[in-house]
Structure 1
Amino acid sequence: MKTNKLLFLLLICFQVSCNSQQQKINGISFVASGVPINETHATPVVKAQGNYVALMPFGFIKKLSSPNVIHNTKRQWFGETEGGLIQYAKEFRKNDIKIMVKPQIWVWNGEFTGYIDMDSEENWKILEDSYRSFIITYAKSAEKLNAEILCIGTELEKFVMKRPKYWQKLILEIKKVYSGKLTYAANWDEFKRVPFWSELDFIGVDAYFPLSDKKSPTIKDLELGWQPHKKEVLRIQKQFNKPILFTEYGYRSVDFTGKEPWDSKRIEGNVNLQAQVNGLKAIHNQFWKEEWFAGGFIWKWFHVHDKVGGDNNNRFTPQNKPAEKVLRELYKHD
Structure 2
Amino acid sequence: MRIFFQSFIFILLCSCSMIPVNSQKINGVSFVASRDSIHEKHVNPIVQINANYAAIMPFGFIKNLTHPVIIHNTNRQWYGETKAGSKQYINELRKKNIKIMIKPHIWVRGGEFTGHVKMENETDWKLFEDSYTQFILKYAVLAEETQAEILCIGTELEQFVMHRPEYWNYLIVEIRKVYNGKLTYAANWDEFKRTPFWNAIDYIGIDAYFPVSDSKTPTVLECIEGWKPHVDIIKSLSKKEEKPILFTEFGYRSVDYSGKEPWKSDRSMTNVNMEAQVNTTQALFETFWKEDWFAGGFIWKWFHNYEEVGGVANHQFTPQNKPVETVIRNFYKR
Query: Could you report, residue by residue, the CA deviation over 1:241-270 in whole angstroms, capped at 9, with x for unpaired residues?
Result: 100000000000000000000000133331
Instruction: Give the aligned partner of residue 44 of structure 1.
Output: 45
Aligned-residue offset at 1:19: 7.3
Paired amino acid for 1:121: E
Could you tell me how far apart the structure 2 residues matched to 1:156 and 1:233 are? 19
Q: What are the ranges of 5 or more consecutive residues in structure 1 without an aligned counterpart?
A: none
Q: How does 1:185-200 map to 2 (within 5 A)?
A: 185-200=186-201
Name whichever of 321-330 and 255-264 sits farther off. 321-330
User: Are the equivalent residues in 1 in contact too, given 2:302–2:318 (CA < 8 A)?
Assistant: yes
User: Are the equivalent residues in 1 in contact too, given 2:256–2:269 (CA < 8 A)?
Assistant: no
Instruction: Give the aligned partner of residue 175 of structure 1.
Output: 176
User: Are the equivalent residues in 1 in contact too, given 2:21–2:293 (CA < 8 A)?
Assistant: no
Could you tell me how far apart the structure 1 residues matched to 2:271 and 2:144 are? 44
3-state SS of paired residue (1:142): helix
Could you tell me how far apart the structure 1 residues matched to 2:139 and 2:321 are? 32
Could you tell me how far apart the structure 1 residues matched to 2:40 and 2:280 are? 30
Instruction: Give the aligned partner of residue 325 of structure 1.
Output: 326
Structure 2 residue 253 is the aligned partner of structure 1 residue 252: yes
Residue identity (%): 59
**C-alpha spacing 1:20/1:228, structure 2 compared with 1 (3 Å):** closer
3-state SS of paired residue (1:22): coil
Could you tell me how far apart the structure 2 residues matched to 1:119 and 1:88 are? 37
Could you tell me how far apart the structure 2 residues matched to 1:161 and 1:239 are? 20
3-state SS of paired residue (2:299): strand
Query: Could you report, residue by residue, the CA deviation over 1:87-128 in whole angstroms, capped at 9, with x for unpaired residues?
Result: 000000000010000000000111000000111100000000
Aligned-residue offset at 1:235: 1.4
Superposition TM-score, scaled by structure 2 size = 0.94
Instruction: Give the aligned partner of residue 161 of structure 1.
Output: 162
Aligned-residue offset at 1:20: 8.8
Instruction: Give the aligned partner of residue 263 of structure 1.
Output: 264
Could you tell me how far apart the structure 1 residues matched to 2:103 and 2:96 are? 20
3-state SS of paired residue (1:295): strand
Q: What are the ranges of 5 or more consecutive residues in structure 2 without an aligned counterpart?
A: none
User: Are the equivalent residues in 1 in contact too, given 2:20–2:292 (CA < 8 A)?
Assistant: no
Paired amino acid for 1:127: F
Superposition TM-score, scaled by structure 1 size = 0.94
Q: How does 1:26-175 map to 2 (within 5 A)?
A: 26-175=27-176
Paired amino acid for 2:283: A
**C-alpha spacing 1:20/1:324, structure 2 compared with 1 (3 Å):** same
RMSD: 1.8
Instruction: Give the aligned partner of residue 25 of structure 1.
Output: 26
Q: How does 1:286-301 map to 2 (within 5 A)?
A: 286-301=287-302
Structure 2 residue 205 is the aligned partner of structure 1 residue 204: yes
3-state SS of paired residue (1:247): strand
3-state SS of paired residue (2:278): helix
Query: Could you report, residue by residue, the CA deviation over 1:171-197 in whole angstroms, capped at 9, with x for unpaired residues?
Result: 000000000000000000000000000
Instruction: Give the aligned partner of residue 280 of structure 2.
Output: 279
Could you tell me how far apart the structure 2 residues matched to 1:237 and 1:127 are? 31
**C-alpha spacing 1:237/1:20, structure 2 compared with 1 (3 Å):** closer
